[in-house]
Amino acid sequence: MTYHIRGTEVFADVVEDENGTVRQVSFALNAPTPAHVEAAALAKNLMVTKQETQDGVLRDWVEEVPHANFFPVAVELVPAVRDAQGEVIAEPVMDTSYSVNLVLVGDLVRKVDGHGWFLWELLLLEWMGAGAETTVNGKVPGLAMSGVSLIDMSKVQTPQGAVA
């Protein structure tokens, strides 16, 4: 999934309505831990820190901003081995890093900066321009910033053979 923003290809899937208005922006991230993704999302205003006091104890947590939807993904590196009856004889090898699909919708895809640029465009252009080339799991190209890789989902094949 790639999209072009003013001539620059970015790793994202963008859904537009019949009038060409962007309705949804999706992209995929990979990091060593969920904390890495949270830190990047906090820095880019896709998550916020909340606090409340319960029973005299101050509690902090991080949550998504409205219209930013993070969907964790389990990545299978090596499929399970099955016998002739379909029973698993060797468990699959799973990626131990953290992968997440991020979907932006609603007001979040319509927010612009002082120059009229959509904030999601600036985010993706920054990643494409400043990110260091990397390869996730030895096969998926990406661009890493602060330990979080924006990955090229067009290079990921699902077990059914369709592009994820």
Q: Tell how far CA 111 is from the center of its chain.
A: 19
Q: Which helix (H) or strand (E) holds 121?
A: helix 119-130
164 found inside a domain: no
89 found inside a domain: yes
Structure tokens at 45: 């205003």
For the chain, how many structural domains are there in total? 1
pLDDT < 50 regions, the chain: 159-164
162 found inside a domain: no
pTM: 0.81
**Domain that residue 89 falls in:** 3-155
161 found inside a domain: no
Give pLDDT, residue 31. 94
Give pLDDT, residue 77. 78
Read off the pLDDT of residues 56-77 as tens digits, 9 standing for 90 and up.
887 776 777 778 888 888 887 7
Q: Are 147 and 31 in contact (CB under 8 A)?
A: yes
131 found inside a domain: yes
Q: How far apart are CA 69 and CA 106, in angstroms?
A: 11
160 found inside a domain: no
Give pLDDT, residue 92. 84
